[in-house]
């Protein structure tokens, strides 16, 4: 069985300049994702889709393949990460004549994700053999979420009177870390968010998604905590 892990990593960022290679505990942010992927028990081919020669050099040093530089139109702010993955699959089919059995999209902004998480998500997909697997983490109930209109707070959901947290269902949100499907299925649907999608639940301490400097600081603290406990 052939597995490919594709990491979409365009250069530039509004929140943090060149966020994907921002230094985190002495290593570029993207290095954590590459290192976790190359250690997988499924021995995947680990590839990075980037538009940057600098990124390509860094990613190669950590063990990833960069077969080509992404076209500029696939590196714009409003291009969803799945499209560079689709582009890479199409190029593989064209240049090598075949596709792997499983495709895994790994966002470089999830540095706390471990190899075990990747392996477990792939195993879950192989067990289900359909649709996709998407990593999620537990989230606060939407009953707690408020919007502001005309300077006043309003709930987005009706609130039971004097409700207790333990009375509410568990709620989950995608953490942007791991997406698994078959290449053929992904090329057909152009999204991992399909029916059926199966959840791979990750703890909050592994689910940080780096978007700004505060997230980077949190990731730094969590990495230090993990290192201390390992």
Q: Are 131 and 198 in contact (CB under 8 A)?
A: yes
The C-alpha atoms of residue 190 and residue 181 are separated, in whole angstroms, by: 11
Instruction: Give domain status of residue 148, yes or no.
Output: no
Instruction: Give domain status of residue 222, yes or no.
Output: yes
For residue 20, give the nearest of 50, 40, 47 by alpha carbon. Answer: 50
On average, the pLDDT of the chain sits at: 92
Does 132 score more than 70 pLDDT? yes
Prior bond of 196 cis (ω within 30°): yes
The H or E element that residue 228 is part of is helix 213-229
What mean pLDDT is predicted for residues 165-173? 77
The C-alpha atoms of residue 56 and residue 164 are separated, in whole angstroms, by: 51
Does 14 score more than 80 pLDDT? no
What mean pLDDT is predicted for residues 19-48? 97
Chain segment 190-211, per-residue pLDDT in tens: 999 999 999 999 999 999 999 9
The range of the structural domain enclosing residue 44 comes to 3-137+172-229
Instruction: Give domain status of residue 142, yes or no.
Output: no
Instruction: Give domain status of residue 143, yes or no.
Output: no
Q: Are 178 and 117 in contact (CB under 8 A)?
A: yes
Strands 23-24 and 152-155: what pairing?
unpaired
For residue 68, give the nearest of 79, 78, 60 by alpha carbon. Answer: 60
**pLDDT value at position 32?**
98
The C-alpha atoms of residue 9 and residue 78 are separated, in whole angstroms, by: 14
- Core vs surface per residue 93-103: b (16+ CB within 10 A) or e: eeeeeebbebb
Does 30 score more than 90 pLDDT? yes
Instruction: Give domain status of residue 187, yes or no.
Output: yes
**pLDDT value at position 228?**
67
Instruction: Give domain status of residue 191, yes or no.
Output: yes
Instruction: Give domain status of residue 184, yes or no.
Output: yes
What mean pLDDT is predicted for residues 61-89? 94
Least confident of 27-36, 122-131, 164-173: 164-173
Domains identified in the chain, total number: 1
Instruction: Give domain status of residue 75, yes or no.
Output: yes
The number of residues making up the chain comes to 230
**pLDDT value at position 196?**
95
CATH number of the domain to which 193 belongs:
3.90.550.10
CA torsion 221→208→80→54, rounded to 10°?
20
Q: Are 192 and 97 in contact (CB under 8 A)?
A: no
Does 212 score more than 80 pLDDT? yes
Q: Are 11 and 52 in contact (CB under 8 A)?
A: yes
Sequence-separated contacts (24+) of 143-147 with Cβ below 8 Å = 143/168
């Amino acid at each position: 069985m052939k597995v490919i892990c594709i990491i979409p990593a365009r250069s530039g960022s509004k929140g943090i300049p060149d966020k994907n290679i921002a230094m985190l505990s002495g290593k570029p942010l993207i290095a954590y994702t590459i290192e976790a992927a190359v250690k997988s028990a499924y021995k995947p081919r680990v590839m990075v889709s980037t538009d940057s020669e600098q990124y390509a050099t860094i990613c190669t040093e950590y063990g990833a393949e960069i077969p080509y530089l992404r076209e500029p139109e696939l590196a714009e702010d409003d291009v969803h990460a799945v499209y560079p993955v689709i582009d890479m699959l199409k190029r593989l089919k064209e240049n090598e004549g075949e596709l792997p059995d499983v495709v895994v999209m790994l966002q470089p902004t999830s540095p706390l994700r471990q190899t075990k998480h990747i392996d477990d998500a792939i195993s879950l997909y192989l067990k289900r053999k359909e649709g996709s697997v998407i990593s999620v983490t537990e989230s606060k109930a939407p009953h707690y979420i408020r919007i502001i209109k005309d300077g006043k707070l309003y709930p987005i959901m009706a609130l039971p009177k004097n409700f207790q947290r333990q009375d509410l269902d568990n709620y989950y949100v995608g953490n942007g870390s791991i997406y698994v499907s078959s290449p053929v299925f992904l090329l057909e649907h152009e999204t991992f968010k399909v029916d059926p999608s199966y959840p791979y639940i990750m703890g909050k301490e592994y689910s940080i998604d780096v978007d700004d400097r505060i997230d980077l600081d949190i990731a730094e603290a969590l990495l230090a905590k993990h290192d201390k406990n390992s």
